[in-house]
Structure 1
Amino acid sequence: MKVLIAGGGTGGHLFPGIALAEEVVTRHHANQVVFVGTERGLEARVVPQAGFPLEFIQAQGLKGKGFFQLLKGLLALPLALLASFRILNRHKPDVVVGVGGYASGPVVLAAWMLGIPTAVQEQNALPGLTNKVLGKLVKVVFIAFDEARRFFPEGKVQLVGNPIRRKLMDNYLRSHVAHEHFTVLVFGGSLGARGLNQRMVDALEHLGDLKEQIRFVHQTGKNDVERVRKGYADRGFQAEVVEFIEDMSAAYARADLVVCRAGATTLAELTVCKKASILVPFPFATDDHQAVNARALVEAGAAVMFREAELTGQKLAEQIRLLKSEPMRLKQMEKKAGLLGRPEASKELADVCVDLMVQTYGAAGREREPQDAAPKASKASKP
C-alpha cells in the first residue's frame, strides 16, 4: 500500500500525519508513505528527520487574510493544483489523506478529481474551512472530537481520536523514573507562545517560597528562549529552558503538571500520557477552536482552563500551588485524562486506508512500475 499524506505547517497538523505514516510502514516492508507540504512549514524539517520522502507545492491560506494576501493566495491555487496533479501521477498513491494546512486542499482536491480514494483527518472540535469543504468530497472524515461530527456528512464520519507518534508512545512507556521535585512542564506548541511564556515568568514572583520544591521544563519557541531563561535565573528557580523539546516523551514522563495551549495534538498527547493540565487556549486560533478543544478535558475533570486575557501571573501561580498541594486531586485528573485517550487512533486510521484501497483497487493496490516497489526520496526531498 502507498499512502500520500498532504498538509502540515504546524505540529498540530503534521504530527498526526507522522503517526499515521509510522503505522503504515511498520505493517509491511513494501508499504510506502510520501508527504506533500510547503517549504515554509514545519514539515520541511520534521518529515525528512522522520525518514519519509517529501514533495513541495506552493500554497497559501485564504481565510482571515487581507485583500492582497487573499488575492495572492487565489492566484497561487491553480499552480498548486497543477503541481499536485504532477506529484500524484508520479507517485501513484493508493490513498490520499489530508491532515490540514496549506498543502492539504489542492492535493486532496486533485486526488478526488483523479478518482483516487481520499480522506481528511480533522484534529479539532471546530473544523477548519478547508476540511469543511473537502469533507463533502472525500470518502472518509476522521474526527477526534464528537463536537466536529455535525460539520460533515454523517455517513462519512469516523470518530477515532488523534494519532500519536509511535516514538512518543514507546519512549513514554520506558521513561518513567522517580523524581524528587514537583515538576511543571510548560510549552506553547511547536512555535512557542509569547503570552504563555510571560504569564509563567510573572507567576514565579508568587512562587518564591516553593523554589526548592518545584522544577520547570519550559519550551519557549525560537524567539523567547533567552528572555525566559533569564526570568527563571533572576528569580532563583531551577529550570530547563529550551527553544524546542525534541524528546517530548521524556518531558511528559517527568511532569507532574503540564501548562500548555490546547491544540488538538497536544490534548491527544496529554490524554494518552495521562497528564493533569492547566490549559491556556491560543486566543487567536481560528473560530476559537482551542477553547472548544479544551472544554472537552475541563468537562471531564482532566484539566482546568484559563483564557489568556484573564490569566495573570498570580492566578497561574495560585493554580500551580493548589494542584501541588492536592496530590489526590492531581491523581484524579490524571485518571480522567487517561479515560479520554485513544492510543489506537493510528491503527484505526490505517485500517480504514487499507479498506479504501481494497474497495477501489483490490488487495494488490494500484498498478505501478516495478521500480516503484521500494520507497525512495523524491527530488524535492531534503536530506
Structure 2
Amino acid sequence: MSDANRHYVLAAGGTGGHLIPAFALASELERRGHHVALITDARGAEIPGKPDFLPAHVLPAGRFGKNPLSWFKGVRAVLEGRSMALRLFETFEPSAVIGFGGYPALPALLAATSANIPSIVHEQNAVLGRVNRLLAGRVQAIATAYPDVKRLKPKHAGKVHLVGNPVRGSVLALRDEPFPAFSEDGLLRVLVTGGSQGARILSEVVPDGLAMLPPALRSRLQVTQQCRPEDIDAVRERYRSHDIPAELGTYFENMESRLADAHLFIGRAGASTIAELTAVGRPAILIPLPIATDDHQNFNTREMVKAGGARAIRQGDFTPGQVAKQIQAMAQRPETLATAAHAAWNCGRPKAASDLADLVESFGGSELMDVIRVGGNNARAASQGERVAQGSARDEAA
C-alpha cells in the first residue's frame, strides 16, 4: 500500500455527537485518496448523514452500567467485538484506527492495540469520556476539541493535539458569510433546539421567557423551535397566546439554513452544537444538560462563555425571567449581539477536519514521510522510541 493511498478505520458510538466528526474526517480522508471504513453499532449504521462511500461494520459493544452483575455480559460482548475487528483488520489492513468515543469504539481500539496498529482517539467534549479515559494509555495520540480537557491525566499530556471538533461541510460553508443584518427595528430571529433528551424544558420555559421581553423587542421576534412530538401542540398554543410568530417542528432537515438566518441560538451545550455555533459565529444562550456524563456539557460552555459569545444558565436557574434577562442583555442593542457573534466566531476551529486528517496521516506511513509531515518530536516517534527501548531491554534480559 502506498503512502498516497492508505486504509483507515474509524470507530464511533451510535450517536450524532460521535458520528458527525467521524463522518467529517471520513470525507476529508476520502478526498485525499484514502479508503475508510466505519465500525459502529446498529443505531450508528442507520444514522442519517453517513457518506455513501463509507461502509459500516456493526460490532457488538458491551455497556458497563452501575450494576456489576451486568459487567460479565459487557466484557463478553467487547471480546466478541474485538475478535470481529481483528478479522476486519486482516483483510482491510488499516494504517491506523481512530476512535471517537462511545462503547462501540472500545473493541476496535483494543483490537488495534493487539495487532500493533497505531491508534488515535478524538474527544469532542471538554471532559475526556469513559472509553477515551480507559484507552488513553494505549493510544498514540489524543485529539481534543478544547484547549482545557478535564479527566485527562498529566502523564498523557504529551500525546494531546488540539484540533477542534469537525463539523459538516454544509455548516462550515457558512463561516465566511456575514452575520445576518440586525437593526433597531429589524426582526430578531431566534433558533431553539434541545435534542431528544432536552427539548421539554425548553418548550416549557422559552415561550414564556420571550413573552416577558419589552414590547418593542417582543414585537420583532421570529422564532423557530424544535419540539418533541408530544409537546408541539402545547408549545404552539403557548406562542399563540403570547402573539409571537413561531415555526415549530419535530425535526428540521435544513438546519444549516435555519442556523444561517438566526441571530440568537437557545439550546443545549452538546459538543457538535457548540462546534457548529462557533464555526458559523452565532451567539447563544446555553442550558447544559444536567444528566450529561461527568457534567461535560457545563464544561463545554466555558470557552465560548469566557470569550463573550454565549451565556450559560444552569437548568435549575432556567426560568422565563432569566431567559428574558439574558436576551435583553445580548440583543437590546444591535452592536452587542454582533460583538457576541464575532466572539463566538473567534472560538471556531474551521480546520478541525483537515488538522485531524493531518494527524491521522502522520501514523502508519513510511518513517521518512512521517518525519517530513509532523517533525521528529511527535507521538508516533515517541511511541516507536518506547517500543525500541522495550525491545532493547528484552534483548539485554535475554
TM-score, scaled to structure 1: 0.85
In structure 2, the partner of 1:53 is 55
CA displacement at 1:230 relative to structure 2: 3.9
Q: Structure 2: how far apart are the matches of 1:232 and 1:273?
A: 28
Q: Which stretch has the larger CA shift, 47-56 or 308-317?
A: 47-56
Q: Which amino acid aligns with 2:125?
A: N
Distance 1:163 1:190 in 2: 22
Q: Relative to 1, partners in 2 of residues 1:227 and 1:8: Cα closer, same or farther, differing over 3 Å? A: farther
> Does the residue aligned with 2:315 lie in a helix, a strand or coil?
coil
Name the counterpart of 1:164: 167
1:312 and 2:330 matched: no
In structure 1, what is the equivalent of residue 3 of structure 2?
Answer: none
Contact 1:276 1:303 in 2 (8 A): yes
1:36 and 2:39 correspond: yes
Asked if the contact 1:13–1:99 (Cα under 8 Å) also holds between the matched residues in 2, the reply is yes
Residue 151 of structure 1, CA deviation: 2.9
Distance change >3 Å, CA 154–CA 208, structure 1 → 2: closer
Aligned-residue Cα RMSD (Å) equals 2.6
Residue of structure 2 equivalent to 1:151: 153
CA separation in 2, counterparts of 1:327 and 1:354? 44
Q: Which residues of 2 match residues 182-221 of structure 1 at below 5 A? A: 182-189=188-195, 192-207=198-213, 209=215, 210-221=217-228
Which of the numbers 232, 247, 250 marks the counterpart of 1:243?
Answer: 250
The match for 1:6 is: 11
Residue 86 and residue 194 in structure 1: after superposition, are their counterparts in 2 closer, same or farther (change >3 A)? Answer: farther
Per the TM alignment, residue 317 of structure 1 is displaced from its structure 2 partner at its CA by 2.3
CA distance, structure 1, for counterparts of residue 366 and residue 195 of structure 2 = 38
Question: Does 2:234 match 1:232?
Answer: no
SS in 2 for 1:40: helix
Displacement, 1:56?
Answer: 0.8
SS in 2 for 1:5: strand
Q: CA deviation at 1:219?
A: 2.0
Specify the SS of the correspondent of 2:219: coil
Larger relative contact order (CA 8 Å, sep ≥ 6): 1
How far off is 1:178 after superposition?
5.6
Structure 1 residue 58 displacement after superposition:
2.0
Do the aligned partners of 1:57 and 1:103 also contact (CA within 8 Å) in 2? yes
Cα distance between partner residues in 2 of 1:231 and 1:165? 33
Kindly tell me the number of residue pairs found equivalent between the two proteins: 359
Task: Sort the Cα spacing of 1:175 and 1:302 in 2 relative to 1 into closer, same or farther, 3 A.
Answer: closer
Q: Shift in Å at residue 199 of structure 1?
A: 1.9
Distance 1:37 1:47, change over 3 A: farther
State how far apart, in whole Å, the 1-side matches of 2:55 and 2:245 are: 40
- 1:20 Cα offset (Å): 0.8
Q: Measured at CA, do residues 359 and 120 of structure 1 come closer, stay the same or move farther in structure 2, by a change above 3 Å?
A: farther
| CA distance 1:316–1:352, shift in 2 (3 Å) | same
1:308-365 CA deviation, whole Å, 9 max, x = no partner? Answer: 01111221123223322122221221121122111011111111111112147979xx
The one-letter code matched in structure 2 to 1:206 is M
Matches within 5 A, 1:1-383: 1-28=6-33, 31-41=34-44, 43-48=45-50, 51-62=53-64, 64-148=65-149, 150-151=152-153, 153-170=156-173, 173=176, 180-189=186-195, 192-207=198-213, 209=215, 210-221=217-228, 224-359=231-366
Q: CA deviation at 1:76?
A: 2.1
Quote the Cα distance in structure 2 between the aligned partners of 1:222 and 1:139.
Answer: 44
d(CA) in 1 for partners of 2:233, 2:36: 38
- Once the two structures are overlaid, the 10-residue window that deviates more, 115-124 or 245-254, is 245-254
2:393 matched to which residue of 1? Answer: none
Change (3 A) 1:76 1:255: same
Which deviates more, 94-103 or 43-52? 43-52
Give distance in 1, aligned partners of 2:205 and 2:70: 32
- Bigger Cα displacement from structure 2, 73-82 vs 174-183: 174-183
Gaps of 5+ in 1: 364-383
Of 317-326 and 206-215, the range deviating more from structure 2: 206-215
Alignment partners' CA distance in 2, 1:191 and 1:23:
31
What code does the residue aligned with 1:188 have? G
Q: TM-score, normalization: structure 2? A: 0.82
